[in-house]
Amino acid sequence: MKAPICNVCLKSDVLCSNCEEKLENGEINELEIQISRKLKELSDEYGSLRDSEILHVYDTENVVVIVTAEGDGAKVVGRSGEIVKKVAEEIDKSIRVVEKSENDREVIKGLLSPAEIESVNTVFTPDGEHQKIVVDEEYKGKINMSNEEFEEIIEKITGSHYLLSFE
């Protein structure tokens, strides 16, 4: 298993100097450490985790987002969500797993699911050009996070700024 912390730190209660430095720089956060260690522990029981890669963990008010390498989402979710359920119990919060992808649309789809993207349009505002993701308004309030939280996480994962709009 690959995680934001090294293999030694995955199995230990303390951090090595390298990982400690990453934590101090803000390259990694406490939640990433906690969740990575929990997944490592679960990998004894769930073989699918052994060749999975955890890239980042982002916290929002109502849900924690785990970003995996492309193709690793299902390995971390587990059959019928068994693995994420255990992690969710540990941190007492819902979890959403999203795969990183070169294709921004795939990342957006993963973060919005089961809501679907209606369209992505270029819009012009006084502060420049933006990409606006339009989702049917029937999904408003059903994606577990605010528009601001969604936009921030999408920007962290894809490096691009998107606006989310329910219309």
Segment (H or E) for 55: strand 54-59
DSSP code at position 51:
G
Q: How far is the CB of 93 from Zn ion (least distance, A)?
A: 25
Between 37 and 100, CB nearer to Zn ion? 37
Which residues, 6+ apart, have CB-to-CB distance to 117 below 8 Å?
105, 108, 109, 133, 134, 135
117 binds Zn ion (CB under 5 A): no
CB of 73 to Zn ion, least distance (A): 25
- Residues 159, 117: Cα–Cα separation, whole Å: 19
Dist CA 76 CA 93 (whole Å):
16
Candidate ranges 17-25, 66-74, 75-83, 105-113; the one touching Zn ion (CB under 5 A): 17-25
Q: Which of 16, 31, 74, 88 is close enough to bind Zn ion by CB under 5 A?
A: 16
| Tokens 């956060």 found at | 29
Sheet of strand 63-68: strand arrangement: 54-59, 63-68, 94-99
- Kindly tell me which residue out of 3, 19, 95, 108 binds Zn ion, with binding defined by CB under 5 A: 19
- Asked if 91 interacts with Zn ion (CB under 5 A), we say no
- Span near Zn ion by CB under 5 A; candidates 8-16, 21-29, 32-40, 43-51: 8-16
Rounded to the nearest angstrom, the gap between the alpha carbon of residue 14 and the centroid of all alpha carbons in its chain is 24
- In the complex with Zn ion, the residue whose CB is nearer, 3 or 107, is 3
Beta carbon of residue 46, minimum distance to Zn ion (angstroms, whole number): 23
Q: Which residue number, 23 or 87, has a Cβ lying nearer to Zn ion?
A: 23
